[in-house]
Amino acid sequence: MGIKDWKHLQGKGGKKPEVKTNPWKFLPHLHPRLRENERHVNTDAADNQGSLFLENAVQLNPETCLVYLSNEEIPEGWYRFGGEGHLVEIRCEAIAEPAKTLLAQPLQRSFALITPAIWGSNRLSYREPRVNQGNEWQSVWYDNESHPKPMLTQRSQPMRFRLGNQKDGPPNQPKLLSRGRYAVPPGTVYIVDQPLNQTWQEWPKDWFPTEGYSFKRWGCGLSLPLDGAISDPLT
């Protein structure tokens, strides 16, 4: 779904948004190869194929591209992105309407993630923001812990990033991998007890873990409003 169709999710525009197909394609690949004449793994030491494992590669449709939001202009060129440091070509463009208006609109009681969200401390992760009060991590958005949390989501996703240089070795090597975490996936819909009356830019940094840099700085948990599409979210 395009960002221009977000108004339809908010109950505006009078028609349903157009839903696009998933651009990701999963390509499982078994290593090493089986013997050609037997159903056994080729374990010949001279073959140098190593132990058997299943690689779940992910391929992006060549007709699509990834979009990153940045508060600073990034020089165009080739960069290493992602946990595996793949080379990608970057082109920087100004943020246009209607995205600029949506990002400036305060979130109320219902909103949806458009980026993965990682909440909690450097050691703990949760499905919603929590803060440490009296050695207890208490929910920020929900007053009653026994009340079912109105949330529409899929299973958590593993997430890592690269930060910091290698201590030893030649220059221009890939950055060190961060600690692996589980993130609430984009598309998750939250319905909170009280209106937030805040944009994502105004959310406190202590809702997010901090490992060198705040995860908010990486864009975790970026959300857009849905109020208007849900008239009475808790019924």
The pLDDT tens digits of the residues spanning 52-84 come to 667 778 888 888 888 888 888 889 999 877 656
Give dist(CA 233, CA 110) in Å, integer.
8
pLDDT for 111 equals 92
Are residues 154 and 188 in contact, defined by beta-carbon separation less than 8 angstroms?
Answer: yes
pLDDT for 199 equals 92
Q: Which residue is associated with the tokens 């809702």?
A: 207
137 CB contacts (<8 Å, ≥6 apart)? 120, 121, 124, 126, 130, 131
pLDDT for 138 equals 83
List C-alpha distances in Å: 215 to 39, 51, 203.
47, 36, 12
Q: Which of 120, 117, 112 is nearest to 221 (CA)?
A: 117
Give dist(CA 52, CA 31) in Å, integer.
5
* 227 beta partners: 230
Q: Which of 92, 22, 33, 19 is nearest to 59 (CA)?
A: 22
Residue 181 burial (10 A CB sphere; 0-12, 13-18, 19+):
buried
pLDDT for 235 equals 40
Ranges in the chain, pLDDT < 50:
231-235
217 CB contacts (<8 Å, ≥6 apart)? none
pTM over 0.85: no
Q: Which two tokens stand for residue 192?
A: 């909170």
Are residues 128 and 207 in contact, defined by beta-carbon separation less than 8 angstroms?
Answer: no
Q: Which of 148, 149, 131 is nearest to 140 (CA)?
A: 131
Residues 173/175/177/182 CA torsion (nearest 10 deg): -130
Give dist(CA 42, CA 35) in Å, integer.
5
Give the class (CATH, top level) of 95-225.
mainly beta
